[in-house]
């Protein structure tokens, strides 16, 4: 198990240092893109070759960003795991960013049309639960976000 963990740590370091995918960059992927990319790399090539169009959309970015390593399953699983860990770390940072005793609001919208508050006066846990529920109901181009309310 130690070797696998070492491979994943080295890959994550490579992603940050060579590809420029910093923590700040990861924190902007709030639509589960890192998890989707990790899941896509985890799917064996032979299965990816036969995916129908709906499953191909699991890859969250431009096609050119997908860099498979045919014939090297271990490398693809290393990339997959590293991306999944990046998503986990992003979620942990997001949850830790908000303290107890503060109130939050949930907003829905996009960067072009602005955001509308759905509900305010929530604890972070309540806001996060509502955010997750709303994300399941909106299209891919709509963003649901949490903001702290000013007191």
Which residues 6+ apart lie within 8 Å of 87 measured at CB?
Answer: 26, 29, 32, 34, 35, 38
Tokens of 5: 């963990």
Domain interval for residue 126: 104-148
Q: pLDDT per residue over 39-73, tens digit each?
A: 999 999 888 888 766 666 788 998 899 999 989 99
Tally of CA atoms within 13 A in the half-sphere of 33 that contains its CB: 16
Residues 76, 47 share a domain: yes
Query: 61 and 84 share a domain?
Result: yes
Q: What is the pLDDT of residues 108-144, one digit of tens each?
A: 987 677 889 999 988 888 888 899 999 888 887 788 8
Provide the 3-class DSSP secondary structure of residue 74.
helix
Q: Is 142 left (phi over 0), alpha (psi -120 to 50) or beta?
A: beta
Q: Are residues 89 and 130 in the same domain?
A: no
* H-helix segments, 71-143: 73-97, 124-135
The answer on 41 and 86 residing in a single domain is yes
- Write out pLDDT tens, residues 77-92: 999 999 999 999 998 8
State whether 121 and 66 are in the same domain.
no
As for how many domains the chain has, the answer is: 2
**Residue that terminates a domain, selected from 80, 97, 114:** 97
């Amino acid at each position: 198990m130690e070797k696998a963990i070492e491979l994943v740590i080295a890959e994550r370091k490579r992603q940050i240092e060579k590809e420029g995918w910093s923590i700040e960059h990861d924190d902007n992927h709030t639509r589960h893109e890192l998890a989707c990319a990790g899941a896509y790399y985890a799917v064996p090539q032979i299965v990816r070759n036969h995916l129908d169009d709906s499953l191909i959309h699991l890859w969250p970015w431009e096609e050119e960003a997908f860099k498979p390593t045919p014939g090297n399953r271990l490398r693809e699983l290393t990339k997959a795991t590293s991306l999944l860990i990046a998503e986990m770390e992003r979620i942990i940072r997001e949850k830790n960013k908000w303290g107890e005793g503060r109130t939050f609001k949930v907003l829905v919208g996009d960067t072009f049309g602005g955001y509308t508050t759905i509900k305010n006066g929530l604890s972070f846990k309540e806001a996060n639960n509502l955010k997750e529920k709303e994300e399941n109901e909106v299209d891919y181009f709509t963003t649901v976000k949490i903001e702290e309310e000013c007191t």
